[in-house]
Amino acid sequence: MKRWEQILETVLRKGESKLRNVEKYIRTIPDFPKPGIMFRDITSVLQDADGLHEAIDAMQELIGDQEVDVIAGAESRGFIFAMPIAYNLHKPFAPVRKKGKLPCETISEEYDLEYGTAEIEMHKDAIKPGQKVVLIDDLIATGGTLEAAAKIIERLGGEVVKVIALVELAGLNGRERLKKYDVETVVRYEGK
């Protein structure tokens, strides 16, 4: 094996271990909020300084060398991760909020929930035409929130260059709903 191949292999191994390391901070609570559900609780990540640091670093590493103009975060836990990444990269942060929470002129998108609908919005001046946007949330479940946020960004003329989440619940097929985007997650659980 050539020297550069050894270096690359070491770097890749370190990156993989950092990504897998975050999972040890996630607490699983069985039968919450109802029987049969395995709730993946990220508050245990937030409550541990090392866990929080590793989670933010791992999510930021998923951006790689992608050119980005704006970091957008979905309310509310997406803010927790998107803000420090925006700060670290010296990029503006664009909040994606629940309807009625933003004070200036907004653009909104409605999406389906299991039992009903929800609506999110962004300020109309949050994204400028042609800007490259990384969209961040804590979790990909069905993908509805992130899909709606991506549609808003596109309607404002932005380009969603990457969707990043800390956790993915693969059994809920959110990645399928987001298939037109480059989606990456730090921790993936096969179930729901």
The first and second tokens of residue 94, run together, are 């664009």
Q: What are the angstrom distances between the C-alpha of 40 and each of 74, 80, 129, 176, 188?
A: 18, 17, 36, 20, 11
Let me know: does 118 contact 110? Beta carbons within 8 Å.
yes
The first and second tokens of residue 96, run together, are 């994606």
Q: Is 77 a catalytic residue?
A: yes
Residue from 5, 67, 105, 114 carrying the catalytic annotation: 114
Handedness of CA 28, 78, 155, 103 (dihedral sign): positive
Q: Is 114 a catalytic residue?
A: yes
Residue from 40, 54, 77, 168 carrying the catalytic annotation: 77
The first and second tokens of residue 95, run together, are 């909040």
What DSSP string describes 46-86? Answer: HTSHHHHHHHHHHHHHHHTT---SEEEEETTHHHHHHHHHH
3-state secondary structure of 159: strand
Catalytic residues: 77, 114
